[in-house]
Amino acid sequence: MGGPNLEVFKFSLYLFVPVMALLHFGDPAWYHNHVLPYKDHLFPPPHRTYSKIPTDQTAIREELARIKADKLARRIEREKELQAQSEAAVQSSKGWFKWW
């Protein structure tokens, strides 16, 4: 087999790699330069998160009703936009047929 020199080399490698990784990635400057900018892209800003989780049944129902109302309002707006776009497309196609 390898002998004692190989065992000493493997042991030193097993100690060296984690220690160097901790020294490199544990550096506060590296953290501020590489992690914090990426974190801003991954997670929403604190003012957009909702941290007040309802705890009782009525608060949960009220929150669900609010969410459903918001979704309904967005859906109605989206349908109005689609209807306006389709009407504009019909009007533009009618103008084209006049010349044809």
> pTM for the full model?
0.44
How many angstroms separate the first and last alpha carbons of the chain?
A: 90
Helix (H, G, I), strand (E, B) or coil at 34: helix
Give Cα separations from 74 to 49, 64, 68, 77 (angstroms). 19, 15, 10, 5
Amino acid 46: pLDDT: 80
Percentage of residues in the chain with pLDDT exceeding 70? Answer: 91
Cα separation, 95 vs 93, in Å, equals 5
pLDDT score of 1 more than 70: no
What is the pLDDT, as a whole number, of residue 20? Answer: 95
Instruction: Look at residue 45 in the predicted model and tell me its pLDDT.
Output: 82
- Residues 41-77 pLDDT 10s: 888 888 878 778 888 999 999 989 999 999 999 999 9
